[in-house]
Amino acid sequence: MSTTAASLKALHHLYLRLYDVDQKLEQGPKRIKLKEQFALIQEEKLKEVQDQVLQLKKQVQQKNLDLQSNEAKILDLKGKLNSASSNKEFDIIKGQIAADEMANSVLEDEILELMDKIDKKEEEVQSWVKQKDAAHAEAKKTAQDFESARNRLNEEIEECKATIADAEQIIPESLKVMFARLVRSHGAGALAPVEGRFCSACNVMIEPQLRVELNSGRLVFCKSCGRLLYLEDTPE
């Protein structure tokens, strides 16, 4: 590999490193926001299950009231049995008592079924509480980790920029404006290695004359995509 190719390869790697650090800085707040949103979703699911428990308990409360009302009614009807004026009235009261007792039996079964559902839902609540707490803890840790890394990443960016400024001394003054435009448009993709006989950025074959110029250590731009090319391996 020629000195020029080695220098351009080093410059390319510096730009790639700068891009990687920039991405970490950019993605940090996004990752934190995603973690926080996920934690809020866990909270919403927890509230949804808690509301379901509340509704089930209200149903139990109402059915208990109905049960108590029926029991009072049955007691009242049993008191009327002794004062029935005829067998017909006695049988009617007996039938009402039997119907209310059957209704109470159904209510008791429904209450037991609801209580079983409440137990299961409360277990689900505990599960969602753990998931919610874990999600908030993860969001907090992600934020703390990013804050801890922020200064180091900013320092690394400044270091990369300073090193890039030195490495770009290989670019002649006459080409610096063109190269700066490439960097603004493509970032780290402003440079591209030649893979075999092709530009790795656009996959277009490099003309033989350009290959000769590359071998001789001259700066060459791809005629198809405009990238600054360099040879990855020893020239053919």
11 occurs within a structural domain: no
Which band of pLDDT confidence, cut at 50, 70 and 90, is reported for residue 84? Answer: confident
Is there a single domain that holds both residue 144 and residue 103? yes
pLDDT tens profile 48-70: 999 999 999 999 999 999 999 99
8 occurs within a structural domain: no
CATH number of the CATH domain containing 164? 1.10.287.1490
4 occurs within a structural domain: no
The answer to whether 221 and 227 have CB atoms below 8 angstroms apart is: yes
pLDDT at 180: 95
pLDDT at 130: 97
102 occurs within a structural domain: yes
Is there a single domain that holds both residue 116 and residue 159? yes
Is there a single domain that holds both residue 180 and residue 127? no
Find the helix or strand (DSSP H, E) in which 192 lies.
Answer: strand 191-195
The answer to whether 207 and 229 have CB atoms below 8 angstroms apart is: no
Is there a single domain that holds both residue 47 and residue 133? yes
pTM strictly above 0.75: no
Helices (H), the chain: 3-81, 87-167, 173-186, 208-215
Is there a single domain that holds both residue 120 and residue 209? no
Q: Using alpha carbons, list the distances in angstroms from residue 191 to 14, 58, 62, 123.
A: 11, 69, 75, 59
10 occurs within a structural domain: no
- Residue 46 reports pLDDT greater than 80: yes
Overall domain count for the chain: 2
- 236: helix, strand or coil: coil
231 occurs within a structural domain: yes
Is there a single domain that holds both residue 133 and residue 181? no
Is there a single domain that holds both residue 236 and residue 194? yes
Tell which of 138, 154, 169 closes a domain: 169
What is the percent of the chain where pLDDT is above 90?
A: 90
156 occurs within a structural domain: yes
Is there a single domain that holds both residue 42 and residue 151? yes
Is there a single domain that holds both residue 133 and residue 231? no
- Residue 234 reports pLDDT greater than 80: no
pLDDT tens profile 97-133: 999 999 999 999 999 999 999 999 999 999 999 999 9
Tell which of 169, 196, 223 closes a domain: 169
Is there a single domain that holds both residue 234 and residue 155? no
178 occurs within a structural domain: yes
Is there a single domain that holds both residue 165 and residue 176? no
Tell which of 126, 141, 169 closes a domain: 169
Show the domain range for 141: 16-169
Is there a single domain that holds both residue 48 and residue 158? yes
